[in-house]
Structure 1
Amino acid sequence: MRSYIICFIFTLTILTSCQDVLQPTPTDIRIDDLTLKTAADAPLVRIGLYSAFRAMTSSVVIAGDFTADNIKHNGTFTSYQEFGTKQITSTNSDVQTFWGGVYRTNYVANFILERLPNVTGITSDSRKTLTAEARFLRGLANFYGVYTFGDIPLVTTTNQATNQNIARSPKATVLAAVLADYTAALADLPDDSSTGAAYLSKRVVQAALARYYLYQKNWAQAESYATLLISSGKFTLVPDYTSIVNVNFTAESIFEVGYTQNDDPATLNTLFVSRREVIPSDQIVIALNSTESGTRVATIAFDVTKQQGNDNGWTVKKYGTAIEGNANIVVFRLAEMYLIRAEARAQQGKLTGTAGAIADLTVLRTRAKGVAVTAAAQADVLLAVERERWYELAFEGHRWYDLVRTGRAQAVMSAFSPNWNSRYELWPIPQAEILRNPALQGSQNPGY
């Protein structure tokens, strides 16, 4: 994990332009005494924390949508060809990037948690908030990491000797640490962010807990936290679904990572639009054009001039450039809370009535001008939830995680690709990490 430490130092060098911050060299570099010595350093380190997490979010979209049945490869990059053909390898560059994003976020968070207690001149409220932000984003990074890679190293220090030889911790241990981080953050974050959905608040943690408990199959808790968000009155569904596609920071956004014209990397826009390196699969095109999906077909667009050979002419439209006003990546939004509550209620047998799963699905189906939900039996309602998540959250990084956690991956994906194998229910540990970290040797995920 040495390279992630170097990257963080380089980031802070750019942010601070301080003469006493050394340029990184290709050796182990300690971050001690370089930054976060005074109260004036805290805002810059906070920027570094959010930037580290922000850089990871495109990896979540790639994992959630590219591993599943939402895309087909249309370009020349080997890494995306592996996702398109379902022949993922441990040397895939995007696998390495995601792993790096998890531990870069971890490192910055741990740096703050270690150093902040010794910094004087910071107000009590500012100290509590920054500590809570570090804990929450560390927890969320580990949440994504453990559901992507399975057992992962649980990194709680910036000590390099420790981190260069650290074994994988069991999934349950990592998830317990995630819950501890969420719980601590919930206690100390403000009820609402004064700067909107770009920064953390208790509402964001509640949304994360709703998703956490859904994945854990704790249906009562998932329903409870989703209801807190829905009933808070702080967020409202936008009337027209096309706003979700075309506008940053809508009224239903709980947390999203934002980009400006100056710092927009246009990563997803480049993949989906300018290069069209991947395009919507025929399956998602059919799904989004269905009467159930309704106006959510706005997620994609058709151009007959691009329809040739393997190209079906469809393009993902959810990510533009910053100047187009829809470059952001949504982490949590209100519609997901309705879907979490619908699934949790269906799993508890609460199907009909104002407090039933069908009522929650109907809210989203009505917004999208789709046909009414006709499912009646519990199994059918759960399949309706699965489809609704497919339509509503397409290209927001959910599909693969949903299929795996519900045990539906093998059935859906084997029908999608003849190359699908159950090993793809986890990504491989990057080969470079196994070579670098002696404690990881011999512990690759099965089948890789």
Structure 2
Amino acid sequence: MLIKMNKYHISLVMAVGVWLSSCREVLEPRPIDILADQFVLNQASDVATVRLGAYAAFRGTAAPKVIVGDFTADYIQHNGTFTDYQELGNKQITSANGVAGALWGSVYNTVYVCNFLLEKLPTVPGVREAERKRVTAEARFLRGMANFIGATTFGNIPYVTSTNIDANKTIGKTDKATIMTNVLADFQAALTDLPEGSPTDGRPVFAGYATKSAVRAAMARYYLYQKNWAEAEASASAVISTNFYELVNYSDVVSKDFNNESIFEVGYTASDDPGTSAFGLNNLLVGRREVIPSNQFINQIISKESGERQRTVAFDFNAQGGGDNGWSVRKYGTPDEDNNNIVIFRLGEMYLIRAEARAQQGRMTGSTGALNDLNVLRTRAGKNTTVAANKPPLVTSATQAEALLLIERERLYELAFEGHRWYDLVRTGRAQAVMSAFSPNWTPKYELWPIPQTEIQRNPSLAGQQNPGY
């Protein structure tokens, strides 16, 4: 079964907007059950509830995607008792891994709710045309994001275009290239009707909902993964040039939700923080310390080149002992802290995408060269020290090969534990070289995640279609 729902019920996390002291709106979900055959999307007042349900469904992809992206790679070592994370730490991932099931389920939950909106919204009377266009665009954006995550994680996956649950139970795999073509179509359609998101009242753009900038950021990442360097550069530049966002102090990247660098992030409040769940990042990285930063990662992140990015991790002498190196990740806080959201896109990534795209096109130096963008981030990383020796060194020259390795390392410093590392190594063809040096258990099969075994068992069209090696 492709979606975590039976024929009669859809278990959705619905959301209502609340205003915090900063006057910024966040999503506070409350779980309710809705009969699929009686789902209320019959009048204009119903649209807001289902719209927020789509965002809530997408939010379910965020923590598992960070886990897949960073725990599969060389960032972590196992430090606890959970089998799922032992598999990730030891690089012995199986198709029964709970993270695979959680990500797969969240992808298809998002697709389902978005398809529901796209099917029903055109027939709902009384909806203002501007609202209909905006919500349709949001559904296309979120569906595109879900399918992008699914295809880049699992490869060939079922492509679900309707809410017909009986039909969806037997959809076979669609090749990744076709999925990605459809992802781009969703992004392009969304771009037309989403708001620009300009800060007309003097506040920074609120990153809790999709805007044109969020779609352009998604397209920049999409084109980077597709090796379309010119379009990746153009899309990243389009976000940067809006001047809606700014590179904040890196300490704010670590410790503050909805900071001025954030383009799109999924939000939580004290009442629904994921920190206590099986996939809650604060619970895994700080509370239980089920996984800890690997020694290899620590040796890199605390280097001079990292500068202020060292704030991503913290050391506790009292936590040392046995195989515990005493280090923890600081990016995901508790309900009482201001950093429990998960960032999907931020400005720092746009500079890195543009740098890589420019390097791949052979432009290393000058104002439109790769090194200029890399140095923008290094300058930010040394901003809060007056001691020259503590500032990350700027790079003035490099060959293309050298620049690409510098950018790979800069992505480690800048985007650590935001869910990018494994995807980066796979898309650049560097996974085997990096990961085989990190773990003797690494094999090429881990360049795709396994289709969850429960889905193979439930869907007859997936029988015999498991990814190679699992």
What is the aligned partner in structure 1 of residue 223 from structure 2?
213
Deviations 1:2-22 (A, max 9, x none): 65235972336898xxxxx99
Matched, 1:407 2:429: yes
Q: Which moved more, 1:41-50 or 1:406-415?
A: 41-50
Matched, 1:252 2:253: no
- Alpha-carbon shift at residue 201 of structure 1 (Å): 0.6
Alignment of 1:222-233 (within 5 A): 222-233=232-243
What SS is found at the alignment partner of 1:11?
Answer: strand
Deviations 1:219-263 (A, max 9, x none): 00000011111111111101x211100011111110011111122
Alignment-mate amino acid for residue 38 of structure 1: Q
- Alpha-carbon shift at residue 70 of structure 1 (Å): 0.5
What SS is found at the alignment partner of 2:418?
Answer: coil
As a proportion of its length, which structure holds more helix? 1
What is the aligned partner in structure 2 of residue 71 from structure 1?
76
Alignment-mate amino acid for residue 263 of structure 1: D
What is the aligned partner in structure 1 of residue 294 from structure 2?
281
What is the aligned partner in structure 1 of residue 10 from structure 2?
9
Deviations 1:103-126 (A, max 9, x none): 000000001111111111111111
**Native 8 Å contact 2:247 2:347 kept in 1:** yes
1:147 to 146, 152, 171: 152
Matched, 1:242 2:251: yes
1:350 to 328, 348, 363: 363
What is the aligned partner in structure 2 of residue 200 from structure 1?
210
Alignment-mate amino acid for residue 254 of structure 2: V
Matched, 1:37 2:42: yes
CA distance in 2, matches of 1:10, 1:387: 41
CA distance in 2, matches of 1:297, 1:236: 20
Alignment of 1:288-437 (within 5 A): 288-369=301-382, 370-373=392-395, 376-437=398-459
CA distance in 2, matches of 1:13, 1:379: 48
Q: Can you give the 5+ residue segments of structure 2 that lack an aligned partner in the other structure? A: 17-30, 200-204, 383-391
* Identity across matched positions, percent: 59
Alignment-mate amino acid for residue 445 of structure 1: N
CA RMSD, Structure 1 to Structure 2 (Å): 1.7
- From the superposition, tell whether residues 222 and 3 of structure 1 become closer, same or farther in structure 2 (CA, over 3 Å): closer
CA distance in 2, matches of 1:87, 1:434: 20
What is the aligned partner in structure 2 of residue 18 from structure 1?
none
**Native 8 Å contact 2:198 2:244 kept in 1:** no
- From the superposition, tell whether residues 158 and 220 of structure 1 become closer, same or farther in structure 2 (CA, over 3 Å): same
**Native 8 Å contact 1:272 1:279 kept in 2:** yes
What SS is found at the alignment partner of 1:332?
Answer: strand
**Native 8 Å contact 2:2 2:108 kept in 1:** no
- From the superposition, tell whether residues 22 and 363 of structure 1 become closer, same or farther in structure 2 (CA, over 3 Å): closer
- From the superposition, tell whether residues 8 and 237 of structure 1 become closer, same or farther in structure 2 (CA, over 3 Å): farther
- Alpha-carbon shift at residue 163 of structure 1 (Å): 0.3
Q: Can you give the 5+ residue segments of structure 1 that lack an aligned partner in the other structure? A: 16-20, 25-29
- From the superposition, tell whether residues 374 and 70 of structure 1 become closer, same or farther in structure 2 (CA, over 3 Å): farther
- Alpha-carbon shift at residue 392 of structure 1 (Å): 0.2
CA distance in 1, matches of 2:9, 2:44: 19
As a proportion of its length, which structure holds more strand? 2
Question: Normalising by the residue count of structure 2, what TM-score does the alignment of the two structures yield?
Answer: 0.90
What SS is found at the alignment partner of 1:373?
Answer: coil
What SS is found at the alignment partner of 1:286?
Answer: helix
